[in-house]
Amino acid sequence: MTFTDVTNNVVGTYEPGKYRMKTQDYVCGQITAGDRKVSDLYANYMGFADFDKQRYWDIREMDQVWFPIV
């Protein structure tokens, strides 16, 4: 799947199920600006998202991110 920001010449792509030895809920991808790769993505949509090997989202930390609606 590809997401394109034409104004800024930025393209994000990801491919679910690319890793053959893992379950199908793993995805990988990248973000490019022009011809230059800006970032790599490795994630499991059920648990975490890493950009350039740095964790940006983890389901185990959701209590620290989301607040109940009162």
Q: Tell me which residue of 39, 13, 42, 12 sits closest to 27, measured CA to CA.
A: 42
Within 10 angstroms of residue 49's Cβ, the number of other Cβ atoms is 16
Per-residue pLDDT, 66: 60
Contact assessment for residue 57 and residue 49, using Cβ atoms and an 8 Å cutoff: yes
The residue type found at 24 is Q
Q: Is the pTM of this model over 0.85?
A: no
Per-residue pLDDT, 8: 96
The values of phi and psi at residue 62, to 5°, are -60, -30
pLDDT by residue, tens only, the chain of 70 residues = 999 999 999 999 998 877 666 666 888 999 999 999 999 999 987 889 999 999 988 888 776 656 666 6
Q: Tell me which residue of 27, 36, 30 sits closest to 13, measured CA to CA.
A: 30
Q: In the chain, where are the structural domains located?
A: 2-65
